[in-house]
Chains A and B, each alone.
Chain A
């Protein structure tokens, strides 16, 4: 048994595995890059690089995870079974170790990294960060008019919309139709418009219809239509979509239920206030030389000011804030941050150092060997 394992492992450690795997990776890379022009970065990511199998019609082809996984296996096997340390080989072994650390680091990152964003207008303050693509329906319950702190009683992810369980609500909630990317049309123009139905809230004026997906998933306007039945106030046909200006309120048995649909929201352990956003243009042009946000971190009792700009992020309590984008309009200036939490961030750095050292060492060894021959 041990012999069998040993022989398999030794086979996995051979250099020719690289010879066979590399072309696959190269083709994957080329295809995954060129198609980005048409299907967008996100879709290319998911189809080619973050997948195990790519289906070409009925034929299964190895995806990014498969190929990289096999390479990692190859490198690990080589490192464990075929890397006897010696003066001649130290450089090569170190270089391979570096590559292995990079691959493992990549794996750790793809599992553990959390990327969110925050849109902060000038003067505003917020502890909330949002997922780029996940959306959910949050239901809040408040006990009458005076209750200022409604409690969240339900969070239903849009990805699972077909299985939403709303039985605990004191009224009926029936999903009618949903669209991953919606077009907003006039209520009268919707295909199932019926004058006799009761339309509530924004559903009185608007309806949703399906639309092909955008290249960037954040640009999709996701929404759905539903009916409420059996409540004291709010029965009828409703609709909800990304970034709806007014939340939907249903009243039943003395309590108010608020429905808010939008990107998945998480809360930071502190909040950030944008004091000033500045776009610095090259003199006499509209081209940005750089831009930065002057913010105040408000963490309990401590307040302190700092600046977030391109190439100089803010790191605090495990979160890193990057100046990602901005918006300037009549309404004012808005700064957009990307907020990243990544426990495996150190791996690529270590991997890089080891890889560089290994390669330099190997070159020195190779070049000096030739000379003494």
Chain B
């Protein structure tokens, strides 16, 4: 029966995914080809859809309809300056920038006068270190930077967008020599007063001026790197302006630029049919120019990954599973059990596929950054909880591990450095072997520790509610076994880290904060195990010690990054210190309180263990 249900779950997932991919809300244009066009951003080639989402999130805070916004920005700059994509909520700042206080979102047009006014303030602010600025100052600085970045996007294609008479900058460029020399002659004859010119001469003057304007706007414009360049052994990418300004042009670049021109024109004329044809041609030609180094499948997967947001789906389903498990504790029923299994299984499916997508897109083991490690540990908790529940139908372990999984997934986004979660690795981590062995082993160890710790919490709560509950004994045995397995993974993971350090830096152990953190977990586990063996720690104390593993792991995992010291400081975080402190203090209070309450109850009942 359970197998049928699981099969149904898988089928549902596939249908859901497929339906989602096909049935986006009907749009004026078909963006399916456009959003796949590869661009280089932040060191990585990604589809335009991903680029748009990241940028819009930077400016606006949300990535809704990002591709549409980007198309308008690139191809219709005169309309785009009215798009209200900059978010300011601080009323004080709004008045400082002379903005309408009733709105929270503003266009670049709204912002221009206020930014001009505060230009001198910015120069002062730029000299300060980031931590010394007030939130308002940080927002002001960010707005200025965002507007500069937005302006650059607006001008990315100014060289192929039509000027007043329909000609484009790039077509006029070859004539620039003649225009300039003609203009020189005119000025020599008639001076600079335009009113004395003939209409033809005025034309020349205007053209010369326009060319100058656009050229100035294109200097240093290298943000939108959509043109593949094949001039050296390696594939590289250039922005449209770079093909003109930096000598990165080529016959192929010329073709691509004219294809971009077709796309832009179709967009401006609202011609949906030509748009579809033009974007398809552009996509195919761009891919061809990368000599098929960039695979269309990879671009597709990244877009799917961003659109479906698998972790959000997983989180909702974990929450559902948790609710059902809580119901099971008081009102067991076969239907609720099945429901729990299906919902948890589906949650894990989405979770796993999210991680699998990351492995495929980034081509490396999924534990290179702090964010990824949180996703991975969360998965370990969820999967182990699911498997044990499926086998033994005992709900406490499942409940506690799913709560841990959900909790970790919800704090994961705070670990990100910027709005693109697919981050690059620092040089020393650029080794798939050690990422796949040491880091996976250690993060698996973290996961198992957390499961043990959460189960210990569950044990203590249950013990308070009902000191002779039949599940307690089994739970205790499980805690002990989990402790052993946790010790295996953390100890082996730690020494594997030492071997990696020996291979990379020449010393097995350097008393580095991250090394010390991992060792701390191992020592803690060893301590409570040996204490229990020698009788110095009673069983209840042992359980409390396992529960405290949460604190130890949190300190080892996140705390060491805050120190910012040593060879290992590449976890970079900011603003996590407060959350960590609150967590540790809260946990200490909770565990101590639970321990005290149970001891009091024991004494009341005259028992001693």
* Residues of A that sit less than 8 Å from B by CB: 14-16, 18-19, 22-23, 25-26, 29-30, 32-34, 36-37, 40-41, 44-45, 49, 102, 105-106, 109, 113, 115, 281-285, 287-291, 310-311, 313, 320, 322, 324, 338-340, 342, 345, 348-349, 351-352, 355-356, 359-360, 362-363, 366-367, 370
Contacts and interface: CB of A to CB of B under 8 A. Distances in A.
A370 B481 CA distance: 10
Contact of A26 (B434, B502, B520): B520
Contact of A23 (B426, B427, B519, B527): B527
Nearest to B511: A49
B520 A18 contact: no
Question: Which 9 pairs across A and B sit closest by C-beta, in order of nearness?
Answer: A282-B43, A340-B506, A22-B527, A16-B534, A18-B530, A15-B534, A285-B43, A359-B488, A352-B495
A93 B433 CA distance: 30
B555 to A, nearest CB: 8
Given A32-B516, A310-B430, A41 B43 contact: no
B147 interface: no
A53 B451 CA distance: 38
A41 B488 contact: no
B520 to A, nearest CB: 6
B426 A288 contact: yes
Nearest to A22: B527
Contacts of A45: 511
Contacts of A22: 523, 526-527, 530
B43 to A, nearest CB: 3
Contacts of A109: 507-508
Contacts of A16: 530-531, 534-536
A231 to B, nearest CB: 44
B477 interface: yes
A3 B208 CA distance: 106
Contacts of B508: 105-106, 109, 345, 348
Given A18-B527, A290-B427, 20 more contacts: A15-B530, A19-B534, A26-B520, A30-B520, A33-B511, A40-B565, A41-B566, A44-B511, A109-B508, A113-B507, A115-B507, A283-B237, A284-B225, A287-B426, A288-B426, A289-B430, A311-B431, A313-B506, A352-B496, A355-B491
Interface of A is mostly: helix
Contacts of A34: 563
Interface string B501-522: 0111111111111001101100
Contacts of A351: 495
Interface in B548-593: 560, 563-566
B537 interface: yes
B484 A29 contact: no
Nearest to A40: B565
A46 B477 CA distance: 42
Contacts of B536: 16, 19
Nearest to B524: A26
Contacts of B426: 287-288
B146 to A, nearest CB: 19
Contact of A41 (B44, B496, B505, B510): B510
A71 to B, nearest CB: 10
Nearest to A30: B520
Given A290-B427, A355-B495, A342 B506 contact: yes
B566 A359 contact: no
Contacts of A342: 506-507
A287 B43 contact: yes
A348 B503 CA distance: 12
A283 B43 contact: yes
A355 B523 CA distance: 15
Contacts of B222: 284
